[in-house]
Amino acid sequence: MASAAEQLAANMSWSAFGKAKELKARILYALGLLILYRLGTHIPMPGIDPVKLAEFIEQLQGGIGGLAIVFTGGALSRMAIFSLGIMPYISSSIIMQLLVTMVPSLEQLKKEGGEQGRRKINQYTRYGTLLLATVQSYGVAVGLEGQGLALEPGMFFRASAVITLVGGTMLLMWLGEQITQRGIGNGISLIIYAGIVAEFPAQLAQFFELGRTGQLSPGLLIALLVGGIAVIATIVFVERAQRRILVQYPRRQVGNKMYGGDSSHLPLKINTSGVIPMIFASSLLLMPATVASFSAAGGPEWVTTVTALLGRGQPLFLALYSGLIVFFAFFYTAIMFDPQDVANNLKKQGGFVPGIRPGARTAEYLDYVLTRLTVVGSLYLVGIALIPELLTSRLSVPILFGGTSLLIIVSVTMDTVSQVQSHLLAHQYANLIEKSKLRGKGKRK
């Protein structure tokens, strides 16, 4: 089966793209908001000592704080207004999705509320984002004071820091929603994507500088580049891989004509949850560990211990990271694909899986297949996430991007290309329908 990129190359021409005015407007709108986001990552918070901040960030990059810097697009290293990034919104989404599965009233609101119910749940998610961002920003403000980075410590500095950071997070949340609605692609994913890609040139230059100065041998340099390409190829292969379940539709007679008798496939992806488990796992580990890093010096002994245990490459960090990825892979797959609903829909349409009785037995079979696919998919995600961490911590090999960053880059690129493809095909179909209508009018005349 051809990928979205291959279909786009086959169907798209520059003339077709040039005529798709709505698509161009959406792309330009999304690019404009992403540029606004990148500008915000360079606007510093008020009241910070830049010299001490640079020294502190250099120490922070060695641990999990380095991962936080990547996910905030470098805003944390400059202590910019977007230093919290979009992670409070993601954490709030995790909590809300958990509550929807556990609270009957919220579950009913999601299933029966329709568009209004979805908006209500989104509103609750925004309230949760505001609360989490306020708590996290206050923790960061106290940590900045504890590290001696505040020029004038006190309640005024804390208040200004909280207002600045919370405002930055809420603005990012709004930007992400606007990109999703009026732009192209998923806005939240594109914001994370833009932050990661923006750091790529600097990290690539640093990587080759290590080779130029002799800190990396030419053989190791080539091996790392080939390994990175192999990881990207693996991600593309697995993200496109599907387990196709044959669905048969019986033939039926209506009058003198026979209908049906066709067959189709129900595609189940190996990694149904996509990049979401790695983003969720990272977001749950990042902010507590980052706040702990800010308050480690001069703080309680247990804070220092937690900071050390959650350092990148440490056994506790690797175990928690792996466990959270596996948990969210199964959790998000259960949200995205309900075997019972799919089985009921097939039964209503008269479809069945050959050899499997329609209804409950079909749901059991789909759950059986999906569970085993999710096991493979979760192990794949764990491998992609941990291999760069182990290379960096155990072998002291510098890695340009972690597995999470690579998966985000590849997945978001494929998803965005797929959406561009869909918009182009819709535009082409609209043109064909319009031309056929004009021809019909011409024949009547």
- Which CATH number fits the domain that encloses residue 40? 1.10.3370.10
The pLDDT score that the predictor gives to residue 102 is: 82
DSSP 3-state of 358 = coil
Among the ranges given (8-17, 116-125, 137-146, 317-326), the one the predictor scored with the smallest mean pLDDT: 8-17
Of 196, 204, 193, the C-alpha closest to 400 is 204
Q: Which two tokens stand for residue 404?
A: 């999470």
**Long-range contacts for 292-300 (Cβ within 8 Å, ≥24 apart)?**
293/60, 293/63, 293/64, 293/65, 293/143, 294/139, 294/140, 294/142, 294/143, 294/144, 294/146, 294/147, 295/139, 295/142, 295/143, 295/146, 297/146, 297/147, 298/146, 299/146
Domain membership of residue 379 (yes or no) is no
> Do residues 405 and 228 make contact, with C-beta atoms less than 8 angstroms apart?
no
Of 208, 222, 198, the C-alpha closest to 405 is 198
The pLDDT score that the predictor gives to residue 4 is: 46
Question: Domain containing 190: what range?
Answer: 22-198
The pLDDT score that the predictor gives to residue 162 is: 93
φ/ψ of residue 114, rounded to 5: 65, -145
Domain membership of residue 181 (yes or no) is yes
The model's confidence at residue 108, banded by pLDDT at 50, 70 and 90, is confident
Distance in angstroms (rounded) separating the CA atoms of residues 284 and 229:
29
**Long-range contacts for 251-255 (Cβ within 8 Å, ≥24 apart)?**
252/350
Domain membership of residue 319 (yes or no) is no
User: What is the number of structural domains in the chain?
Assistant: 1
Domain membership of residue 194 (yes or no) is yes
> Do residues 228 and 203 make contact, with C-beta atoms less than 8 angstroms apart?
no
pLDDT 10s digits, 112-128: 767 788 888 889 999 99
pLDDT 10s digits, 232-256: 898 989 988 888 888 887 766 555 6
| CA R_g for the chain | 25
Domain membership of residue 53 (yes or no) is yes
Domain membership of residue 34 (yes or no) is yes
Domain membership of residue 114 (yes or no) is yes
Assessment of whether the complete model's pTM goes beyond 0.85: no
> Do residues 436 and 27 make contact, with C-beta atoms less than 8 angstroms apart?
no
Distance in angstroms (rounded) separating the CA atoms of residues 396 and 394:
6
Domain membership of residue 118 (yes or no) is yes
Among the ranges given (252-261, 356-365, 423-432), the one the predictor scored with the smallest mean pLDDT: 252-261
Torsion-angle region of 148 (φ positive above 0: left; ψ -120 to 50: alpha; else: beta): left
The pLDDT score that the predictor gives to residue 5 is: 45
Distance in angstroms (rounded) separating the CA atoms of residues 333 and 344:
18
What residues contact 353, with CB distance under 8 A and at least 6 apart?
245, 246, 247, 248, 266, 346, 362, 365
The model's confidence at residue 259, banded by pLDDT at 50, 70 and 90, is low
Torsion angle (degrees, nearest 10) of CA 272, 328, 132, 137: -90
Please say if the pLDDT value at position 294 is more than 70: no
Distance in angstroms (rounded) separating the CA atoms of residues 340 and 32:
42
What residues contact 240, with CB distance under 8 A and at least 6 apart?
1, 3
Please say if the pLDDT value at position 442 is more than 70: no
* Better-scored residue on pLDDT, 17 or 342: 342
**C-alpha 334: how far from chain center:** 17
Helix 276-294 to helix 87-102 angle (10° resolution) is: 120
